[in-house]
Chain A
Amino acid sequence: MRVGSTFKIALRALQRNKLRSALTALGIIIGVGAVIAMVSIGNGAKAQVEAQIAGLGENVILIFSGSTTASGIRTGWGGAGTLKIEDAEAIRREIPSVTLVSEEVVSNAQVAAGNQNWFTRIYGESADYFELRQWALADGAPFTSQDVRSANKVCVIGRTTATQVFGSEDVVGQILRIKNVPFQILGVLTPKGLSTQGTDQDDIVIMPYTSAMKRVLGGGTTLRNINAQVVSTHDLAPAQRQIIELLRQRHNIRAGRDDDFTVRTQEEIAAAATATTDVMTGLLAAIAFVSLVVGGIGIMNIMLVSVTERTREIGTRMAVGAHSRDILTQFLIEAILLSVVGGIIGILSGIAAAKTIAAVKNWPALISPASIIIAFLISSAVGVFFGFYPARKAAQLDPIEALRYE
């Protein structure tokens, strides 16, 4: 019955102290804003990582050459050169669920055209690579299995390489000299942007692996890794087991000895990568939550000060007929109004902050409705929780003492 007028009373009390009300709400605004902005950025980063993992292609299995130890010095993955071209062919031939296979060698080389040159990464792949990585061409066409078989001097290049060497993206049909060998450019890849590690994925030249081995690496028959794709997610684990079995057999590894290669499925890689971003998102949310709690304590602090400062006012209200409950409700409504209004402004400023950071820093930001609802509920709860103690303190004042308070 009295809630309506108590609401009016609380609103008037807040209006009387506009600056103080604004400053109190500011704690909640910052807290809620931080939660929204942090969670958005965290979610954005996670989504980006997931997109990049998906960018590897779907249902991909990566087979790396093992590491080797020579005189106590261990090489990294691929260093041992245990994977042969024949291994890739065996996988292609003997494991039915594998549909696409790309032999991969990697090198860095100076490339040149005209009077410009550029240091870039050279990937040797099979013709399956573009389909397997779901990497379309922006211009031109990919090389064919015929090119791979004949080790033709052809390549496709990334946008960064194209603009650095030629100053334009219109480079199909041009000649790119790699280690002074002229390669014809067949196509330009669609840009992928930065990888999770921060490398430019468009700074690349892709050519048949046969050409790379013969003309860039200068001989050799070992592969750094093999990319394989299976039909469906269900095939990933069985195919992984079959590949391990096949390669152990081919490499004559006796039972009990370690593999000289590593087989990873895309799911494993994704899990590892998202685990990192999950930790980051959690950390950001935790920091933001702390600031929300600090904002809540700010409300409690101000409400306590306010109760002391307004003791005579409370006494007067009681003298003219306010029940303890009216006083309790009034101060509680004041606290909740502050935190809810602060929460709403916080949500808006959090969204604005996330978008600004996303625009300025070129980070992705993903504003999830769940985080908005949760932040709003938490801010209201903060108002009730931190407003209750001061409100009860006010309600329990003795009217006579309160009226005499100086």
Chain B
Amino acid sequence: MADPSAIAAVRLEDIEKTYRTGEVDVHAVRGVSLEIARGEFVALMGSSGSGKSTLMNILGCLDRPTSGRYFLDGEDVSSLSRDQLADVRNRKLGFVFQNFNLLARTSALENVELPLLYGAGRLSNAQLRDKAERVLEAVGLQGRGDHHPSQLSGGQQQRVAVARALINEPEVLLADEPTGNLDSRTSMELMGIFQDLNEKGITIIMVTHEPDIASYARRNVVMLDGRIVGDRAVTRRSNALFELEKLSERPPEAVEPTVPS
């Protein structure tokens, strides 16, 4: 676990989220405390209705908790205004969504540049392009900058989304069911990118309901009915590069799911 003297990337203290829908209060998150250190790779798991999406929205600063405190990189973000949250998202968070959420009819480069346009820094067009090209290269999409999403495969689109998430060098990369729309091979490739980024020190929090995918993470947190019911380090961790190698050697149906890390 994390060194307590270092500032945790994420620290949740007794987070609760209650939605009022008419007469009934829905307690989506009921008192969650969680600490995620820098450099961790956490899979947030749980069935639908377990509150993991609500918790993810709070972690992503898209929503504010009803009560409790949330420290992102040591900064209390639980009571910031809408615009302040937007700035936090821009500076400290990168998002990867299940349905990619790329702008249609917009080149991969322009999609990747998007967070920079809302950032505080003033960059020239050339600087924007240069930065976007470097991040695209990092996710293995060099030379595809001028392609539109419709000209890219699902895996490539998701890699554009990862590049977009990374362009502002975020504190935490948040992925919400990132492999939900990908086939198993592309999922593995994406996990390979995630593991590679994590090796380079980027903190990743990923929501998934697939145990296979969760096994690529270092730590699994399981939610049920708005509470954390399981939190364990992954012992038999999958290595995406290794898996992919096996896949190319053997017929696809004979894939062994996990190897010890």
Contacts and interface: CB of A to CB of B under 8 A. Distances in A.
A, B in one complex: yes
Interface of A: 1-2, 4-6, 8-9, 12, 16-17, 312-313, 315-326, 399-400, 403
A16 B148 CA distance: 11
A289 B30 CA distance: 59
Nearest to A406: B99
Given A2-B118, A12-B110, A320 B89 contact: yes
Interface string B94-131: 01010101111110001000110111101000000000
B62 A399 contact: yes
Contact of B83 (A8, A16, A313, A323): A323
B115 A16 contact: no
A320 B82 contact: no
A324 B82 contact: yes
Contacts of A313: 103-104
A326 B118 contact: yes
Contacts of A17: 105
Nearest to A316: B101
A320 B90 contact: yes
A317 B114 CA distance: 8
A319 B89 contact: yes
Contacts of A322: 86, 118
A6 B117 CA distance: 8
Given A319-B60, A322-B86, A403-B62, 9 more contacts: A8-B117, A17-B105, A312-B99, A318-B62, A320-B114, A320-B164, A321-B89, A399-B62, A403-B97
Given A16-B105, A316-B101, A319-B95, A5 B86 contact: no
A324 B84 CA distance: 11
A255 to B, nearest CB: 86
Contact of B86 (A8, A316, A321): A321
Contact of B62 (A1, A319, A326): A319
B63 interface: yes
B260 to A, nearest CB: 37
Given A321-B87, A323-B83, A315 B119 contact: no
A312 B102 CA distance: 9
21 contacts: A1-B120, A5-B117, A5-B118, A8-B117, A16-B103, A16-B105, A313-B103, A316-B101, A316-B102, A316-B114, A318-B86, A319-B95, A320-B95, A320-B118, A321-B87, A321-B118, A321-B119, A325-B83, A400-B57, A400-B62, A400-B63
A101 B90 CA distance: 88
A-B pairs, 9 with minimum CB distance = A321-B90, A321-B118, A320-B115, A16-B105, A316-B101, A5-B117, A323-B83, A322-B118, A319-B95
A320 B114 CA distance: 8
B115 A321 contact: yes
Most buried by B among A9, A313, A320: A320
A367 B102 CA distance: 48
Interface in B57-71: 57, 60, 62-63
B204 to A, nearest CB: 17
Contacts of B82: 323-324
Nearest to B84: A323
A17 B119 CA distance: 25
Given A319-B95, A321-B90, A9 B117 contact: yes
Most buried by B among A1, A315, A318: A318
Contact of A403 (B101, B106, B117, B122): B101
A176 to B, nearest CB: 77
A16 B83 CA distance: 27
Interface in B18-70: 57, 60, 62-63
